[in-house]
Amino acid sequence: MSPDAPPLVDDQREPRHFDRSRLRLGIVIAVVCGALAFLVIQGLDNATTYFRNADEAVAQRDDLGTRRLRLQGTVVPGSVRTSGDEVAFAVEYHCVAVDVRHRGDPPELFVDGIPVVLEGAFTEGTDTFASDRIMVRHTSEYRAEEGDRLALAADEACPA
């Protein structure tokens, strides 16, 4: 504005230029909100993963489809076979067995007859469960968390 120009009235103000620092702040806030939303959605997805015992999963096989779930059972003695980076075995619960193919290394405590929870999904068109995570249930921790569920299944003698 030149010194000779008449003073501006309220409705004749010069237009303000957008402040770059506000733009940067807006972008940072948008990125942080997006990251938080992503983490919340991932957490909710993990929280809603179906949990089934082996017998329930077999009974609901058609309804489950290829949906991701957690499968609980006891490793059938003598069923563990290792080939490269894949481990094939069976788990059972209430005398109902499910064949499993696991990619990757199993935990060190993974042995015949141990209770496990597997994460994965049934392979399309088969009754084989494709696992990508094995969680071995430690006796003391498991009983404290799950009560007698696994103890009841382990006490049942399955006919050979």
Going from N- to C-terminal start, the domains of the chain cover: 15-47, 50-155
The tokens describing 78, both together, are: 């003598």
Q: Alpha helices of 48-131 — where are they, by DSSP H?
A: 54-59, 61-64
Closest by Cα among 32, 114, 99 to 61: 99
**In 3D, which of 108, 102, 111, 107 has the Cα closest to residue 84?**
102
Q: Rounded to two decimals, what is the model's pTM? A: 0.61
For residue 123, what are its two tokens? 């392979």
Confidence of residue 159 (pLDDT cuts 50, 70, 90): low
pLDDT of residue 34: 94
49, two tokens: 């993963």
Amino acid 97 reads A
41: pLDDT confidence band, cut at 50, 70 and 90?
A: confident
Each residue's pLDDT tens digit, 9-24: 555 565 566 678 888 8
Residue with tokens 């563990």: 80
The CATH class of 50-155 is mainly beta
- Largest Cα span, the chain: 106
